[in-house]
Amino acid sequence: MSESQSLGFIGTGVMGEPMCRNLAAKSGWRVIAWDPQPEPLERLRAQGVLIAGSPGEVAAQAEVLFVCLPGGAQLKQLCESALLPAARKGLTLVDLGTSGVALSRELARRFAARGTDYADAPIARTREAAQKGTLSITVGASREVFARIEPLLRCMGSDVTHCGGAGNGQAVKILNNMVLLQTVNALAEALALGRRAGVEPALLFEALSKGSADSFALRNHGMNAMLLGAYPERAFSVAYAAKDNGYALELGRETGVRLRGAQLLAEVLEEAKAAGFGDAYWPVISRVVDRP
């Protein structure tokens, strides 16, 4: 391994920390990280990750730079303040967060003008999947860039799908979340209706799992969260779900598709935030669905 084979990683939060750790353990590359919070960086230092003093310092040293931030607003601010000024030929920037499609395509154009390749590669699945390296990653990039970064992405994900050019990875991730959100809302309505009709909740979900209503959402969000009333913080929150649903509505407006289901979900999610559940694990929407 040469010293030039350096990976940068910015954003070592709940998902980013284990992803960065997997890159350091599996890639064979030198890994340099930065985050505004020192605690995850200290844990990563113990795993051999080098710690930078600023985002610009990471970008200056990296050949491939991964960024894992909460959303498009944070990504755009970081790019404007630190990453676009550090852009250069030979650098590949990979956005692992979920951002709007239009923003991803805009950033891809702006970085290309400075010689930097850009890929949107939003992650899906749980914190446990991030720890185990079994995330699903949908990628928007040229074929050449995808071929270059795919082995690195497979250090973090067991399913890596090339979805087409810039922005397409975000589009597929946003649509995945749109379908999931509406499925969980249907489960919340079924749970409330079944309970009021006298059907025991666990029995209801067990029966659904044996029929055509079976789904990943039922077995995970339904059985592991809604039945147990388990809605921890520092998981994928109502606020995050509202953000991603907003990206779906934004894409609908851009493409001329009226998204009735996503609009309903926007109302449910806003109601959940107003009820004080904004930071809770997002299947907590079942509590507002079941209110009189």
163 secondary structure, DSSP code:
E
33 and 57 Cβ atoms separated by less than 8 Å:
no
From the candidates 173, 210, 243, 273, which is the catalytic residue?
173
Residue 173 a catalytic site member: yes
3-state secondary structure of 170: helix
Radius of gyration of the chain (CA): 20
In the chain, beta strands by DSSP E: 6-10, 30-34, 50-51, 64-67, 92-95, 117-120, 123-124, 135-140, 157-164
88 secondary structure, DSSP code:
-
94 and 66 Cβ atoms separated by less than 8 Å:
yes
Q: What is the DSSP string of 93-149?
A: EEE-S---HHHHHHHHHHHHTTT-EEEE--EES-HHHHHHT-EEEEEES-HHHHHHH
Rounded Cα distance, 134 and 70, in Å: 20
Catalytic residues: 173
